[in-house]
Structure 1
């Protein structure tokens, strides 16, 4: 990076204020509410998606409904993180929460697929802010060594929302209707905003530095064009079409433009210096593939249970409990173990092995798979995620400078969200293509033809599919299963790439005080004791410095 120091002299990077354990818990509760309501919006529609897209546009458009929010969450996350580094976390968290409220109302009022997708896209921007701010605020008030324990709480919030989401979504679809899936989180969001206003007290931050809007534009356009190709190609337009060529060209040009602009900007959205940090780069690669796996399973597994197995939305939510139980329990235990030992690397390595095994087992699903075996597969997969997802963010935070804490945290979330968005879009295209090609051949094997002028039938809600005559119903279910098996088998080598990326990371012990033995008298007299919750890594260490990896 060239140019003068982008950080004005009037801004001093100092140790953040120390907080007692009780104060930290109050702040964490506010963050948990914010994170819960944003995560709930993503999981509550999982069991409702087949009904939603069946009412508004057909099962073949399911991936686009899910991808809209993931796309905007992904491209907006770095912007939230960088702006918060310049202007403070708390105001932006409030903006994100209230933006979430308004966009949720818009999604609930949608009367067609275009309106729903637009509302979901705007909602994704708000979710990106909540995700980025939650992690960054926690990093502001808790040292890396102790952050493992509190990261477990954030992971638990995500786990609880993952448990509650499908159950609540199933209940609402079976009861008042799917639109209430977007309204159910509104009271929680309002309460979260009030709690946050009353509990979070951070020093005011205001750097007199302009935002790199040109770099933000290039980064957003690059990520958006890539995701649009993966979401729409093979569905709205052919892979070999001028649309694909145009969007591909936009992706390449804006990516190159982003690199050039970010290297010259005084305050870049994604500082090039971050990419000199091996931990940032390698955990970013791992996070990308973890997002692939996590969203690929969480979005499409309820579809298997409803479309193929004929379960109701409520029943499919209950059947996904083993996956969420693994994430919740293992995430909490993992966070406490990291705080106790001060080491982190072994946990994602074990977790990624479990995710790979779970993905391989899920690729064997068919219409007759024993439900107990399915629960075991989900438990393995969920436990692997519990070992992995929060730890990768913690590793990045532990090796970045304080001035980059917000953007480094949001970038780690960005890579995971990008993987999820690419995964959902790509898997949706694979599933759609597999169904389109498989159903006619399956019907031909049964001596029947597709009862339509189209090459494949238009899929409706799970209940509509269940009401179809044989052999069409069984052909659709078998084609759906073949598509899902292809998706889950593809996850295995991708997860192994994430494993290799984490394996290559040089582990840096976590900074900050931990549960270590009481020092001797001489040590106590000659060295100051770090404050609980402070950023200092060791007694007497300059809080502005970070451990080196070399």
Structure 2
């Protein structure tokens, strides 16, 4: 890749010849802030909305539909990720950012104005179409703005920003509901998004080189149908969409058929959304597979952790939220300093392996602690280790993927990775719910608890649990930790097969 050098007061940044203006110079810091705010916009929305959903459902009178608010967003954001990646390779990151953020902000305003759950579901689906581009385009744009050696530093910065949002999102959501209205949950994102949009439009450079292109409309249609069917199947099997419109096994058949058709079509398409040939690149294929396994493991293990804290350890919702602080602190520290160290050494593979190894160790500790009924301290220690591993693992996985492909395929590669991670996370949640429910039913747990478990879809919460029910819940959630730990070990074994790249 031919590069220019941009000198600032403190650092020198390599700039791609395809990305600069006439003299190759860009406003790096301003563009970077725009990208960080886009990450913040995406991350804080997910955390702030999840906190407010039960209250919103009560106000709008749609408790049985609460899962569809999440599922509609997840469906549209997942399917749009590789599409944004491909289109950004064609049209440039800036133009696709303008579309992505504009859709997200319009949908956010409409969500805040919704008067029924059906409207909210529709607007959240629209919001997901915008959100699918936020993280994918931010990560791709960093790959354009800096050279391969510097990417770990800035991908770590993105992970740190997302970690901060994990803490502040629920707190901000609760505060807005208390002092204002749930509608401000959505309105609050408007100023952040507008600032991000202005910074990106003004300071993120458009590609200097443009080429003729053909949009793969058939591939888009096949991908949309296959992913929607797959997500509906996973949610249906996971117990989150009881009474879905289609039988889960019919949606599974549709997903398989359309996925096969999509792969066959992408082999012959002139400009495919996902180039199947990318997976012949060893580093790309292994890093994407490992990242998918990592996301699967994290979602499978962590989705019921607050439930464990509240029902097994007897913590209040506020206390259970504070128990996640060690994980967030560990993630901020490792993503910030780990990114600098990996960029300085250029040895991204070693930091990637260290991160995955720490995550596997932490999930094993969570599984053991829950199986033996340990107290708070072992959980806090395990979460701190998990945060350290997360801050090292995923940013370096992204760097390995980006450094393994040509610059003109950077968006497609990043979008493909985001797509695999999102779909893997959905599989992890569904399978974790299935394993947990299987454990509860095999233990002959009282029907009262089963009703509580299904409360995640909006049914009435029961107030009391007996000791047998608590023990059954402890073992059931421990099974989800074990499932996550096993998958993370598999991710580590896969990660060892990543081809080492020479430091640029």
Could you say which TM-score interval applies, normalised by the shorter chain?
0.7 to 0.9
Larger relative contact order, structure 1 or 2 (CA cutoff 8 Å, min sep 6): 1
Q: In the TM superposition, what is the alpha-carbon distance from 1:204 to its structure 2 partner? A: 4.9
Aligned to 2:20: 17
CA distance in 1, matches of 2:423, 2:233: 14
Bigger Rg, which one = 1
1:478, CA displacement in angstroms? 5.0
Q: Deviations over 1:382-414 (max 9, x none)?
A: 111111111111111111012211101111222
CA contact (8 A) 1:74 1:421 kept: no
> Where in structure 2 are the equivalents of 1:303-342 lying within 5 Å?
303-306=307-310, 308-309=312-313, 311-342=315-346
The answer to whether residue 482 in structure 2 is matched with residue 486 in structure 1 is no
Per-residue deviation, 1:296: 3.9
Partners of 1:223 and 1:503 in 2: CA distance: 29
- The Cα shift of 1:151 comes to 1.7
Decide whether the 8 Å contact of 1:64 with 1:425 is kept in 2: no
**Is residue 354–residue 384 contact of structure 1 (8 Å, CA) maintained in 2?**
yes
Q: What is the CA-CA distance between 1:482 and the residue it aligns to?
A: 3.8
Q: State the partner residue of 1:459.
A: 455
- Superposed CA deviations along residues 239-272 of structure 1, whole A, max 9, x for unmatched, are 9x98233222212211221122111111111112
The 5-angstrom pairing of residues 67-216 of structure 1 reads 67-110=71-114, 113-173=117-177, 175-176=179-180, 178-204=182-208, 206-216=210-220
TM-score normalized by structure 2?
0.85
Report whether the alignment pairs 1:376 with 2:376.
no
Give the 3 Å change call, closer, same or farther, for CA 461–117 of structure 1 in structure 2.
closer
Q: Is 1:423 aligned to 2:428, yes or no?
A: yes
* Residue of 328, 340, 344 corresponding to 2:348: 344
Structure 2 counterpart SS, 1:248: helix
Equivalent of 2:285 in 281, 284, 295: 281
Partner of 2:410: 405
After superposition, give the CA deviation of every residue in 1:107-137 in whole Å (9 maximum; x if it has no partner). 4445555444433332222111111110111
How many residues get paired? Answer: 485
Of 255, 260, 263, 1:251 maps to 255
- 1:46 touches 1:299 (CA, 8 Å); kept in 2? no
In 1, the alpha carbon distance for the partners of 2:212 and 2:300 equals 42
Q: Is the 8 A contact 1:167 1:317 kept in 2?
A: no
> 2:232 touches 2:248 (CA, 8 Å); kept in 1?
no
Instruction: Give the Å deviation of 1:76.
Output: 0.9
CA contact (8 A) 1:86 1:205 kept: no
Contact 1:367 1:481 in 2 (8 A): no
Q: Which has the higher helix share?
A: 2
Work out whether residues 402 and 410 of structure 2, in 8 Å CA contact, stay in contact via their aligned partners in 1: yes
Contact map agreement 1:296 1:424 (CA 8 A) in 2: yes
Match of 1:506 in 2: 499
Equivalent-residue separation in structure 1 for 2:248 and 2:125 (angstroms)? 21
Contact kept, 8 Å, 1:103 with 1:119, in 2: the verdict is yes
Structure-2 change in CA distance of 1:271 and 1:298 (3 Å): same
5 Å-filtered alignment, 1:207-226, equals: 207-226=211-230
Matches within 5 A, 1:513-528: none
Output the CA distance in 2 between the equivalents of 1:186 and 1:26.
19
Between 456-465 and 22-31, the greater mean CA deviation after superposition = 456-465
User: Does the aligned pair in 2 maintain the 1:67–1:421 contact within 8 Å?
Assistant: no
Q: 1:185 to 1:234 in 2, by over 3 A?
A: closer
- What is the match of residue 532 of structure 1? none
Supply the distance in 1 between the matched residues of 2:457 and 2:19 (Cα, whole angstroms): 52
Distance 1:312 1:126, change over 3 A: farther
Whether the 8 Å CA contact 2:18–2:209 is kept in 1: the answer is no
